[in-house]
Each structure stands twice: as structure tokens, then as C-alpha cells.
Structure 1
């Protein structure tokens, strides 16, 4: 499994939050939902996305943006427009001035109900000037920590480079409410996200562990570590299987990936273990064997050393807590 596959093949999108937002200027939403990853597609009109103090980008029709959490950001018609609404964890909508879009005094629940425009649609009116599609990944995948850490806080695909067919299909399906609709939407969101991430990874500046896959020395070694994490690897054994000398592999691997082969393997094994520990029937001993540790004690020691908690403590924590 490569790391991009790990992003969506761990929990993948499961009951992802999807919403079609329609607004007339002025509008400004402050997003403080702490979600690990959010995808925003502009269908009509445009919006400014502001993240932190120095990341401000204009989104035009057809553009796609991927926002890495948990830092807050703002979506507005203009960067200077004051916030009117804050979106909190759990997609709780809180109006800052207590007023709905028509001036009616509302609490958060009242505002959400007043602006409800049908199935997964929310905003001023159905034919408003700006239409945005938002898909929110609400769970973290431990396998994806390396990829999430490498992603920029804000990644934008202009309309010319975005997959408009998938955007159109997602928009159509978001308006439907058929049996199995949640599963269909989750998979469409996955496809759209993967299309953006694959383009990003193909560009210059992609993280070393990704570009190293094409290296004739490091690439075969990386594939072996990903495909056979439970094997009793040493640098010498890995080099022999990859058909290179031990010193050449160690030097080249560290140069391209940023860490030695055995350090990378430890991180990969523990990432896999973290996902497997979420499976209700999995014992710590069984997980240890699947990821290359000889016993539950050995896995527990490595897990605590790397993550600051035991596997037992980790699996008792709510999904998503402290996993970004």
C-alpha cells in the first residue's frame, strides 16, 4: 500500500459531511471545525479563502481547494467582509450577531433551519450568485499522517487542472437522497480528492518519500517495506532484495526520504498498527504480528516510545483525538 492509498484506504470517507452552500454577497464563514481535511469546489460565482495571516487566495468557478486542518480558515466574498457565522466542530453553525440571513433573531439551530434549502443545501436562496460544494473528512487516518504532514495548509487546483466531470457528478448526487446515497457520496469525494492529490504529487516540490518511488535504488526498497512490513528487515536484507549494496541503499534512502530505512520502517509499522488497533476484534498480539513485532510487549514498547501512549490507551481514545 503506498501512502496515498493509505490516506483513503484506512477509514476513508465514512459519513463525510457534504454541503452545497449558496450565498449572495456579502458573506463570510469562519470555519473552526478542526477537521483534518476539507475539499471545496466552486460551482458558480467566486470566493476568497483566507487561512492564517498570509494565505489568501481567490477561488474562481471550477477551482478546487484542499484545506488541511485543524487550523481555522475563512470563506468569504471579500477578505474584508466581517464574519457573520462560525462553524464549530461537529458542523455546528453559530451566528455571531444572532441574526439570520433575513434579519430574524436566531440561535445556531434556528439559523441552520432558516437557511435550509433542501437536501444537503444551505444558504440565502437557491439561485444565489455563489455556489460552493464542501466535503469534510471528519476522521483521521493514522496511515496518512506522513501525507497529511507533507500537504501544504492550502492546496488549490485551478479549473483547467481540476476534474470537472467529477465535480459535476458530485453536485448532482448531493441533491439526491436515494438508498445508499451516503456511500455514493463518500466514494465520489474520495475520487475527487485523489485526483487533486495525484496531480500535486506529480509536480515539482512533492515530498521526498513520494518522488523516491521512481528512484532505481530507493524505489524497490520502499515498495518492499510497504508491501511486506512484517518481514524481519535489516538494511542488509533490504539491500539484497533491492539488488544494491547496503551502503548505497542507506546513503541514497536517507538522502531522498529524509530518514534512514529502519526509521522509516518503524514509522510505517506503527502507522499501520494504529489503524489496526481501531478494529474491534483485533488483539494487540495479532496486530503486533501483522506489522512485524514479535510480541504484544514489543509493539507496546515501540508504540509508547513513538506516540507517548500505550496501544491500550490509544484504542480507548475517541477516533480523531490527537491524531492529526
Structure 2
């Protein structure tokens, strides 16, 4: 498993928010849902994404894709000069700027929402709602808003997502989660591989024979009692040489990288499973719950139990449309 695969393998979409938005100008929607990541693709017409920090707006045409990294707000609009007419908050809660609910009045069908069923612009939107800590290293490597034109990435799965998003079949949410994951992987590979890309050190380091091998070993077997010496032996290089080159390419020493990876895995397991702290500790390479708790609190400022207790969000009313289930 390479590093990108490892970062994407843990916090896969689980009940991701997926929507087809159909709009007729003038339109503008302010998004303040604080979701960690949202992927948007225009399939018809055009749209603008305006970051909330005053950064440069991006223009999306058919086949273009954008990723907005939370929790910062942004606006999607037919024209960047159009003032927002709707606001989407945490949990998909949608209302006018005056607070009037819009979820039902703008429902156009299964996972379809907008102001006109035959609107000039159609966007596919996929939002990861859970802040999976395994992906934090990945999210930190992304800009607040990225844009890939249609010709800059290979998007054969986008028509699949477009076809599946409005279906109401058994197991449909799982199908959509997996298709969204595949689309996201395709976009991120294209983003990091584009000419002149400022890819993170861990991504560039994968091409190095010794450091890339070391990264794969740490990713694949974090529970192993690794030392720099044992890692160097497994890679067939000297201890000093591996430590120096790893730090130069990745930006941190091998054991610091391993600690971060172990704690990220532990964080994801704490929020995504019912495993005991003891079991989580041993799974990620700590001798027991005390050792994990000490490291976890030192790095994250809270104990594993406190972190787990704060990991769940209550569902919100008046949210954007969920599937309209059939009676079969």
C-alpha cells in the first residue's frame, strides 16, 4: 500500500451526502456546513465557486471538478456577483438568509434539489461529512479550494455517479459511497501529478527507492516495533543514510512519521469502531492503553476517551433531500 492509498483507505465515505443540484439563473448558495471535504462537478451549464476568505473565484464548465476543503465557507453561484439566496449549514440544513426552510420547497426528486427541474446548470455534489483523522495529513496537503479542468483529469466515473445519484435501489448508499471514493482518488492523483504541482513530501518520496519502501512498510504494518535501524535493514540501506534521506524528502524523521500515522489510525478507530482503547492501542503499535493515552494526550491534548466522546454529531432537521424510498 502506498501512502496515498493508505490515507484514502481508512476514512472511506460512510453515508456521504450526495446531491444533484439543478439551477436556473440567477442563483447563489452559501455553504457553511463545515464539512471536511466537498467534491463538485458541473455536468451542464456553468457555475462559479467563490471562497469565503476573499480568494479568487473559480469558473466551472462541464467536466470541470472542484474540491472545497472545510471548515471554511464558500459560495456556489451562477454568477459570482449574485448575492446568496440560500444557506446550507451543518448536516445539510438549508434555509433562506431569513431562516425560512427550503429543503422541501426545492426538492426535485431523489437526491435532486434546485430552483427549476429544467434549469440551465446541473452540478453533482459529494460531501464527506465525517472528519476522519486518518485523512488529516491528506487534507492538510490540499489548498482550501482546488480546480481541475475537464481536460486535466480522467473522469470516466463521473457519468456513473451522475447515473447512480438519483437511483433508489437496495444498497444504493453504499454504491454511491464507493463511486464517490473512486472519483476522489482520480481527482487527487491528477492534482498531485500535474506539471508544477507542489505535492507534499510524502507523495514525492514514494518515487525514492529506499524512502518509498520505508513509507510502505510503515503504512502497511504500523504495529511492528519499528526502529530506524530495523527499518533501514528492511530497506537494505544504512541507518544514518535512511534517517537523513527520509527527513529530507518527507519533512520529518521516520519515527515521528510513524507516531503521527499510529495516532491517526487510533483516532479513526476510536470514532469509527467500538473497540476498546486497549485493543486500539495494540492494533496500532502501542503496548497498551496507558502508552496510547500518554502519546494521544501529548499530541492531541485530550485522552482517547475524551476524543471518542466528542466524535459524534446529532442529526439536524430541515436538511437537503435524502432518498425517497420506494415501498418495495
TM-score in terms of structure 1 length: 0.91
> Do residues 197 (structure 1) and 197 (structure 2) align?
no
**Would the alpha carbon gap of residues 299 and 221 (structure 1) be closer, same or farther in structure 2, given more than 3 Å must change?**
same
Specify every segment of 5 or more residues in structure 1 that has no aligned partner in the other structure, as ranges.
99-106
Equivalents in 2 of 1:213, 1:186: separation in Å?
27
Q: 1:3 touches 1:147 (CA, 8 Å); kept in 2?
A: no
Within a 5 Å distance, the mapping from 1:1-324 to structure 2 comes to: 1-51=1-51, 52-97=53-98, 107-108=100-101, 111-203=102-194, 204-319=197-312
* Cα distance, 1:30 vs structure 2: 0.5
Equivalents in 2 of 1:170, 1:209: separation in Å?
30
Q: 1:3 touches 1:144 (CA, 8 Å); kept in 2?
A: no
* Cα distance, 1:251 vs structure 2: 1.0
Deviates more, 1:130-139 or 1:275-284: 275-284
Equivalents in 2 of 1:13, 1:189: separation in Å?
8
Residue 104 of structure 1 aligns with which residue? none
Q: 1:186-215, CA deviations, whole angstroms, 9 ceiling, x for partnerless residues? A: 111111111101112223321111110111
Number of paired residues? 311
Larger RCO: 1 or 2 (CA < 8 Å, sep 6+): 2
Q: 2:110 touches 2:168 (CA, 8 Å); kept in 1?
A: yes
Q: 1:203-248, CA deviations, whole angstroms, 9 ceiling, x for partnerless residues? A: 3321111110111221111111112211221112211111111111
Tell me the secondary structure at the aligned position of residue 282 of structure 1.
coil
Equivalents in 1 of 2:216, 2:95: separation in Å?
47
* Cα distance, 1:96 vs structure 2: 1.5
Q: 1:38 touches 1:66 (CA, 8 Å); kept in 2?
A: yes
Q: 2:3 touches 2:206 (CA, 8 Å); kept in 1?
A: no
Tell me the secondary structure at the aligned position of residue 54 of structure 1.
coil
Q: 1:144-166, CA deviations, whole angstroms, 9 ceiling, x for partnerless residues? A: 11111111111212112344431
TM-score in terms of structure 2 length: 0.90
Q: 1:48 touches 1:58 (CA, 8 Å); kept in 2?
A: yes
Q: 2:29 touches 2:85 (CA, 8 Å); kept in 1?
A: yes
Q: 2:39 touches 2:65 (CA, 8 Å); kept in 1?
A: yes
Q: 1:265-322, CA deviations, whole angstroms, 9 ceiling, x for partnerless residues? A: 110111111122235441222222222211211111001001101111111112479x
Tell me the secondary structure at the aligned position of residue 114 of structure 1.
coil
Deviates more, 1:188-197 or 1:111-120: 111-120
Residue 102 of structure 1 aligns with which residue? none
Tell me the secondary structure at the aligned position of residue 113 of structure 2.
strand
Deviates more, 1:226-235 or 1:84-93: 226-235
Deviates more, 1:193-202 or 1:156-165: 156-165
* Cα distance, 1:249 vs structure 2: 1.0
Equivalents in 2 of 1:6, 1:140: separation in Å?
16
Deviates more, 1:254-263 or 1:232-241: 232-241
